[in-house]
Amino acid sequence: MIDTKKLPLALTVLGLGAMAASAEIKVNDNFSLSGFVDMSANGFSPSKGDATLNAELDQYEMDFMYKFGFFSARADVNSIGPSGAVTIEQAFINAALTPELSLGMGKFLSVSGFEAAEPTGLFQYSTSKLLTGYAGPTYGGYENGLNLAYNGSKFGLYGAVVTSVWGTDTDLKTPGFEAQASVMPMEGVTAKLTFLNEMYDDSTDHDNQSEVNAWAQYAKGSLTMAAEYSQLINWGPTNQNGMGWLAMANLKLSDKIAATVRYSGIKLEDADDPDTEVTFSPSFAVSPNWLTLAEVRIELDGTDAEKGVAYALESTFSF
């Protein structure tokens, strides 16, 4: 963490970390690669107290994709944060049973939620209050298990049995479940409804935790708009009910310039007020593979140390 007076140095470091846009590298007919490098300068200015600023490499990822007839496989190697620790983020095999029906097994990302798990899929630097959640993210994580998916032109269904929806447990005596229905009724319109459930052992004080997540998106021309709502059931270590929400709009002003506005919040039953934020984020595409953006996020609730303004500059290079 560095003093805000050193902002020019942080910006110089950020400029050196060019970030690339997603473009698959084909090695041969059966094997291809993709990935990204993401770094940022980010800080927070509380209502009371000292402002802070960080500059670091946020994430590096390399994805390996294989195709063998009706079968495909993928493995993502990931390094997050200053520690530089390398992990296998996900690794799975898919079998195309029919053109619309597929079976998958391994470690894979949950299908829940509107906001993407990777910076290359986000419209801004930060994730919403709904995703960040309470006592852990509300979206499902990278899960070990088995899934079955049907993807039609207007309608889709998905189901998965996993060892854990939100955690790292590998005990199948307390599995998790995920089910989703999606509709694409017309060009540019998508809506998805997902149910997630996590079972807990009788030896714990935690009831089965569930979530109902729904979101809809309109994306056509230069405009993208989305709304999302989650109902939280027996959430966190205190088994509370609650809800979370998101509304966002992204407007592409030119081939290179865009701007995003987002409002999100989360509220649990024992909280007097919701935890909310408002974000504004302009972006500039240096090239098809290199996206830069700025963000100002206003934290509206909490103590004086929690309320304030967060800011960031991000550079993402994808390949």
Average pLDDT for the chain: 89
Higher pLDDT, 223 or 239: 223
3-state secondary structure the chain: CECHHHHHHHHHHHHHCCCCCCCCEECCCCEEEEEEEEEEEEEEEECCCCCEEEEEEEEEEEEEEEEECCEEEEEEEEEECCCCCEEEEEEEEEEECCCCEEEEEEEEECCCCCCCCCHHHCCCCCCCHHHHCCCCCCCCCEEEEEEEEEECCCEEEEEEEECCCCCCCCCCCCCEEEEEEEECCCCCEEEEEEEEEECCCCCCCCCCEEEEEEEEEEEECCEEEEEEEEEEEEECCCCEEEEEEEEEEEEECCCCEEEEEEEEEEEECCCCCCEEEEEEEEEEEEECCEEEEEEEEEECCCCCCCCEEEEEEEEEEEC
Please give the domain boundaries of the chain with CATH numbers for all domains. 4-318 (2.40.160.10)
pLDDT score for 84:
77
pLDDT digits (tens, 9 = 90+) for 156-181: 999 999 999 998 888 888 899 999 99
pLDDT score for 94:
98
pLDDT digits (tens, 9 = 90+) for 47-101: 888 999 999 999 999 999 999 999 999 999 999 877 778 999 999 999 999 999 9
Token digits of residue 224: 């993208």
Examine the pLDDT at 15 and tell me if it is beyond 90: no
pTM > 0.85: yes
pLDDT digits (tens, 9 = 90+) for 248-269: 999 999 999 999 999 999 999 9
